[in-house]
A = this chain, B = another copy of it.
Amino acid sequence: MDNTVILSGTASNGIAEGLSKFLKLPLIKVENKILPDGESYVRIPKNLSGKNIVLVQSTYPPQDKHIIELFLLLDAVKSFSPETIILVIPYLAYARQNQRFNEGEPVSIEAILRIIGTMGVESLVTVEPHRAESFEAFEGKTLIIDPIPTLAHSLSKEAKKPVVLAPDHGAIQRAEELAVILKTDYTYLNKERNRKSGEVTLKKGNKYDFGGRNVIIVDDIISTGGTILNAAKFARKNNAGKISVMAAHLIMAGGCYGKLKKAGIRDIIGSNTIPNSHAKIVDLSKVIGEGVFSVLEAKGTF
């Protein structure tokens, strides 16, 4: 434990600080700047030879800049020949390009995880990735943090008997988990996404009467909000009370916030894996910290 440090990368959004406090470990912040030609410069201002290094680097927008900075940081970290490198990526970009939907596409997330695997990372800790299967491309160990209990805990008492709504088939497990925590029930929508146009439509046969009860739509990520808007529309049409949404990762690009508000969504609940000024933000440092602790413990470090 004496030998372990938290290293805050160029995109931590407070999580490195939170880990440092929760785990009572020293915090080191990387120096960084953009050079006049647009290249990123990073530097670790302290010699970390022989340490256990917990590097925190999220990959929220601008994603490509933060990913390149991650690669540069890993090169700098390795120059110290550390005892071990544990990488915390609170939000992992490119997670939705997780298969070749059309011939000639990359599997972007696997390409990135494979690169990270070549750069000396022993363990990777991430929050609610789109599909856990993608991590088979990473050659080290992976620990996936479940944000749902922490997010659920943040709900006010009055909100604790809603219907949980999964906006598509992929969110069913999340919805079930949240419903169990809230001691309530859940349902889900069948939707289809056109892989060429990206358009989302509801399949026929979606039926549910919300009977005036409040609804919480739960997903892993809100990107442009199309999926959530579809679900909100469905809930509104089928006699829902107040509608809220909950997702760990809030990208909310392209006027998403305005659209969600306009659709009558009352609360947006998310986490600090991505900076966001519109939503109710829940700090995940503690649950991530518990994960990092378990990795260090398994190594006999704690």
| Chain A residues engaging chain B, CB cutoff 8 angstroms | 36-47, 61-65, 67-68, 71-76, 79-80, 93-94, 97, 100, 102-108, 110-112, 114-115, 118-119, 223-224, 251, 253-254
Contact = CB atoms under 8 A, between A and B. Distances in A.
Contact of A75 (B64, B73, B108, B223): B108
SS class of chain A's interface: helix, strand, loop or mixed? Answer: loop
Contacts of A254: 36
Q: How many copies of this chain?
A: 2
Contacts of A104: 43-47, 76, 79-80
Given A37-B224, A115-B115, A118-B118, A100 B79 contact: yes
Contacts of A37: 61, 63, 223-224, 251, 253
Nearest to A45: B104
Contact of A103 (B42, B47, B71, B110): B47
Contacts of A62: 38, 64
A93 B112 CA distance: 19
A253 B36 contact: yes
Contacts of A253: 36-38
Most chain B CB inside 10 Å of its own CB: which residue of A75, A104, A111? A104
B36 A93 contact: no
A74 B114 CA distance: 13
A120 to B, nearest CB: 11
Closest 4 CB pairs of A and B: A44-B104, A75-B106, A75-B111, A72-B106
A24 B261 CA distance: 56
Nearest to A67: B68
Contacts of A80: 104
A156 B131 CA distance: 60
Most chain B CB inside 10 Å of its own CB: which residue of A107, A108, A224? A108
A204 to B, nearest CB: 27
Contacts of A47: 103-104
Contacts of A73: 106
A97 B223 contact: no
A61 B76 contact: no
Contacts of A100: 79
Given A43-B105, A76-B106, A79-B106, 17 more contacts: A42-B105, A42-B106, A43-B102, A43-B104, A44-B104, A47-B104, A64-B65, A68-B68, A71-B115, A72-B111, A73-B106, A75-B106, A75-B111, A79-B103, A79-B104, A80-B104, A115-B118
